Each structure stands twice: as structure tokens, then as C-alpha cells.
Amino acid sequence: MMKRKLKFCLTVICLFLPGVFIANSQMLVESVVAIIGNEVVYLSDLENTVSDARRNGNKMPVDELTCRILQQMLVSKLFMDQSRIDSITVTDDAVEGDLNMRMNDAIRTAGSEEALVAYFKKSLPEIRRDIKKTLIEQQVVGDVQSKISKDITITPVALKKYYNSLPKDSLPVIPAKYQISIIQSDPPDNEDNKAEARQKLLDIRSQILAGKSFNVLAIMYSEDPESAKNGGEIGFRVRGELEKPYADAAFSLTKNIVSKIVESKYGFHIIQLIDRKGDMVNTRHILIRPKVKPVQAAKAMARLDSIANLIRKDSIKFEVAAVRFSTHKDSRINGGKLVSPNPSSRIKWFTLEELNPEMYVKIREMKVGEISDPFKTSDESNNEVFRIVKLDNVLPAHSANLKDDYQSLYDDALVKERANVFDKWVKNKISITYIKISEEFKSCEFLQKGWLK
């Protein structure tokens, strides 16, 4: 997983690295591959991207790979040229947040700043400059494409035509989906567990104040696995990306100072400010979660077992029991109906793969209307909780159809229509744009489709 992430991260960073030569729009100079309107593709850009693709395991013959990457670059430059005509610009500030996160991700993935510098054979400021250029170009291209495709919609008639055009033996297979209701019980007497977690974190904080390394103690003790691997560092974040208690503490710190204990929905933290840039902070933290004792788990399970038995005997409806007894705030207001925590979707259908492992194991063996026995699991904040689950409905795996999968088919048709519109736009843009290609690359087959003039 880490190797795949490294390959993706470094490939994105290498894309469109800036060259060092300047060319006007009417002539080619050494190290320039192409001029597209007022845009230039440099030989160094192309060679760097091809080399990176080869290092990352692309087995395509080098000539074919070079032509494919060149085509992608030329199309991107068409959109960039259009952005000048449409006065579409993206400021440095607009990509600053993403830039900081990309830099941090790249350093963590490479292993260190030194490893990243060695990989690219460039200084950190040069790498940062190149990433910024790439991010700005990607944003500009996206803005131009959004303008081109803003009025594209798929009517019901067009969607039906699209669906009927799909070969029946190649229709996408929609995995089985499930509607689920839950009743959750948090551990009883959890305040005692919280007090113990706070005390453990106080002891760790005392060691840091006495001179021990925050990084080392984070690796040893933090219960946030991802950041613990990096000595507790989470990278630059804007306030909105952090839990409010964490953000309030982080933004009030001065460099290298360790916070007092901060409680969030994830547990208890101590935080150290590494750096601050404008509205972003880079921090490291140590997280300790309250631990549930066996006797507390037994009490929670027994309580849920009693509730489940009452429901099975029709002494109380599941929906009523959820409102009365469940501690899961997001579902209890819906009578226990589990919905996506994403406020933009709020979907009620889930594939098994979208559920955590304990929920997965329970649901896959259940029948519609059945209520599970109590079981231990984790909530959305990865805290230990206890639940019973009711399987409300199942939509079996099936080939896509308009009745059950309208939105999925609509999205597919919209993607295809946008691609068609972009293809037509590119062909027209090629015909009206000044284009000059270096003789060295005119053997690329795709150039025969209007690029050569």
C-alpha cells in the first residue's frame, strides 16, 4: 500500500515540471517539444514524466509511452491556452492548502526531506515550486472544463437511450446493498475510563516536559496509528479540517510548546505545534482512548440483549427502542436507521464492504427482519461501542437497471457525454490554435489527427 501511494504521489508531483528555456509562439528552440498557442511543452517536462512512469513500473515500450504522455500534455496545454482567452486564473493562495498537504504527504511517503530531495535531485524549494505550478495548472484545466460542460445534462429519454445502447451482457454489476437499523450502547461508567486515559496522557506529557522526545513517545504510545508512524505528525491542516477542540488548542499554541490535555470525540490528546503558515498549522499529537473493562462490556451486552428480546417479543418496536435507548445520535432520530455520515449524500443503502468488520460479519449472515445478538464494534470515531442490528432490506447483486440504479446509470452517462463534449472541443480547438511540434516527435500516431499543420 505504501509503495502504491509513493508511486501515485511522486507521479502527480512530476507531472509538467517546469523547463528552463523560454520560447515565443512563432519558433522552436532547443529543448522545446511543442508550442500550443501561448503554451510551451519542454523536453525536460516530457523526459521527467516518462522516466518517472518507467521507475514506477510502467512496462509500455518507451516510444509508445512517450507519445501517450505527450498527447496528455498537449491536450492540457489546449485548456491552458483557453484559460487565457477566458481570463480564468488561479492564484497561489487558492492552492496553498493543497500544496502544503502534498508536500507533507510526499515527505512522509519518501521517508524524509533528504530522501525526497535525493529522489528528485532538486531542493525542497524547487520541488515546492514545481508542485505549485502543477496544482495551479490542474485547477485551471478543471475550471475550463467546468465552463465547457456546465450546461450538460442527461434527460430521462437520453438516459433510456444510453441504457438501451449498452450490450446486455456487459451491463455493470451492482453489488448487493443493505438497509440497516442499529441500537447502540456506549460503555457504562465510561467516566472512570476517561479519567484513566487522562492520567496516562498526563504521565506521557510529564515525560515530554522532562526532556523526552515527543516523536518517540508518539510512536510508542499514540493510539492514532497513521500519525504514530510519523512521530505523531499530521501535516498542515486548516481549522475546518480539525475537530474544534483540537483546532482551538492547536491554533493557540506557539512553536514547539506542548498543549494541556484536549478532549475530542476520538479521545484525549496532547498537541505540539510544529509550524504555522497563515491559516494552517502543522502539529503532532499523542492520542489515548478510554479503555473499556470486561465488566463494563458485559453490562452493555446484557442491556442490549434485554432490549433485543423485548423487540423480538413485540413488547416494543425497534424504532421506539432506538429513540429511547440508543446512544448513536445520528441514527436514533431516524428510529435507528443507519445513514451515511456524509451530509452531502445521507444514503441509506450500504454494500458490505462499506461496513466495519464486525458489522460486516453480522449482516452477511442475517435475513430481512432479523435482529442480531449484541456485539462489540467501533463507531465512526473508532471508539469501542456495543450494538444490536436489524436487517431492514436487501437489494441483491444484479445487472444495472433503470428502476433500481437510475442515479448510477445517470452518472455513467453524464461522464460519457462530458467526454464526448471534451473530445469535440479539443478537435475544434486544435483547428484554430497555432501549433508547432518538434520534428523529433512527429512519428507519434496521434499527431496525424489534426495536430500537424
Res 346 pLDDT > 60:
no
pLDDT at 340: 78
In the predicted model, what is the mean pLDDT of residues 189-204? 95
Average of per-residue pLDDT values in the chain: 89
Q: Which strands, in side-by-side order, build the sheet including 233-238?
A: 233-238, 280-288, 267-277, 262-264
State pLDDT tens for residues 300-337: 999 999 999 999 999 999 999 999 999 999 899 999 99
pLDDT at 10: 38
pLDDT band at 25 (very low <50, low <70, confident <90, very high): very low
pLDDT at 452: 93
Q: Cβ of 15: how many Cβ atoms within 10 Å?
A: 21
DSSP string, 31-80: TEEEEETTEEEEHHHHHHHHHHHHHTT--S-HHHHHHHHHHHHHHHHHHH
In the predicted model, what is the mean pLDDT of residues 78-87? 96
Nearest to 40 by CA among 434, 429, 432: 434
pLDDT at 161: 95
In the predicted model, what is the mean pLDDT of residues 158-167? 95
Taking each helix axis from N to C end, the angle separating 62-85 and 43-55, rounded to the nearest 10 degrees, works out to: 130
Sort strands 262-264 and 280-288 into parallel, antiparallel or unpaired. Answer: unpaired
State pLDDT tens for residues 92-120: 888 887 888 888 778 877 777 888 888 88
State pLDDT tens for residues 201-217: 999 999 999 999 999 99
State pLDDT tens for residues 382-429: 899 999 999 999 999 999 999 989 988 999 999 999 999 999 999 999
Domains with residue ranges and CATH for the chain: 2-153+415-448 (1.10.4030.10), 177-189+292-396 (3.10.50.40), 190-288 (3.10.50.40)
State pLDDT tens for residues 235-287: 888 888 899 999 999 999 999 999 999 999 999 999 999 998 878 899 999 99
Res 3 pLDDT > 80:
no
319: CB partners within 8 A, 6+ apart = 181, 335, 336
pLDDT at 1: 36
Res 128 pLDDT > 60:
yes
